[in-house]
Structure 1
Amino acid sequence: MDSNSYILLLYFFLLLLYHGGEYILTRLVHGSAGLGSFLFSIPYLLAQLLSLLEFRFESAEFSEWKQTTLHWLWLPAILLCACGLGIRFIAMISAGRSFTHLLQNEKRPEHLLITSGIYAWSRHPGYLGWFIWAVSSQLLLANPVCLLLFAYWSWKYFDIRIRIEEKNLVLFFGEDYLNYKHRTPVRIPFIS
């Protein structure tokens, strides 16, 4: 098996770890989980397909460059992916039933404002973890085009989502959320 095959195996293992972890943690925290807990969507699947196409194309057309780049990037990329997944999964566990995959328009009785632990370090550690994981996954594949696209698309998605979510959190928690927002950064670059 060549090094490209090993990298693809690592990549698929990380995908399995991410999606399996999301499902298992959702089931543990909320008592149930459906297919939506795997977090597949058409744009996400298309992005994954694009990343695999880029990897195969560059492996065929720029084989020497790809091999050299993969040799130097695979370990830092794996460590960054692990950090991203760790941050996300710790956020899910720390928030418990207050963590959901869907934006909430009404405050549920069990919805608490979590400001301790990892939430004292980042206002949206689940998003931060996903951002780090997604971008680092393209570093693992040494995909320069998808690295930039994943970084931009993820950033744009979270910039919009955080704005919407924080309007609701201000409605739910009022001054407590505003104080929390003032003292705790998001930590995704250029999102305040």
Structure 2
Amino acid sequence: MELGYCRVQFLMFSAAVAFFHTSEYLLAVAIHGRSHVSWNSLLISRQYIIAMAFSMFEYYLEVVFLPELKAQWWITNIGLLMVLTGEAIRKAAILTAGSAFTHIIRVDHDDHHELITRGIYR
């Protein structure tokens, strides 16, 4: 398998991950203001790093043992399309929720909370 192809796939993956985390943080800042947003809005935790390490190991094993699978551009392109679709849906949900959106999972009712029933939540 051509090493350049693996680099392209890895760059596509890296760009998607970087876009996700950066846009999550910037949207939270835009909605709530910098003083109300912590670095936790980047959504990077110890468990996440472990999961990412395992995904990179899985990719390496596929390149070594199933290189013909990685040579199929259409599989990569379908995966990228799925990522972009998921991102569009998530960002639409965040923008629709506006100030009701938070990265902090709440277990108690907040008096100022509004149930969103418009847009993508309809």
TM (normalized to structure 2)? 0.89
Is 2:49 the counterpart of 1:45? yes
SS at match of 1:106: coil
The 2-side partners of 1:103 and 1:80 are apart by 25
- Give the match for residue 116 of structure 1: 118
- Give the match for residue 81 of structure 2: 79
Structure 2 residue runs without a partner (length 5+)? none
How far 1:103 sits from its partner (Å)?
1.8
How far 1:102 sits from its partner (Å)?
1.3
How far 1:65 sits from its partner (Å)?
3.2
SS at match of 1:102: coil
Change (3 A) 1:119 1:57: same
- Counterpart of 1:37, as a letter, is S
Structure 1 residue runs without a partner (length 5+)? 121-192
The 2-side partners of 1:77 and 1:67 are apart by 14
- Give the match for residue 107 of structure 1: 110
- Give the match for residue 28 of structure 2: 26
The 2-side partners of 1:72 and 1:79 are apart by 10
How do 1:1-192 residues align onto structure 2 when only pairs under 5 Å count?
A: 2-32=4-34, 33-68=37-72, 71-104=73-106, 105-109=108-112, 111-120=113-122
How far 1:9 sits from its partner (Å)?
0.2
- Give the match for residue 129 of structure 1: none
Identity of aligned residues (%): 30
How far 1:56 sits from its partner (Å)?
1.0
SS at match of 1:12: helix
SS at match of 1:40: coil
Deviations 1:59-105 (Å, cap 9, x if unpaired)? 1222233323xx22111111111110011111111101111111222
- Counterpart of 2:103, as a letter, is H
The 1-side partners of 2:69 and 2:22 are apart by 33
Number of residue-to-residue matches in the alignment: 117
Change (3 A) 1:94 1:53: same
SS at match of 2:103: coil
The 2-side partners of 1:25 and 1:4 are apart by 31
Deviations 1:22-78 (Å, cap 9, x if unpaired)? 00000000012221010011111111110101111221222233323xx22111111
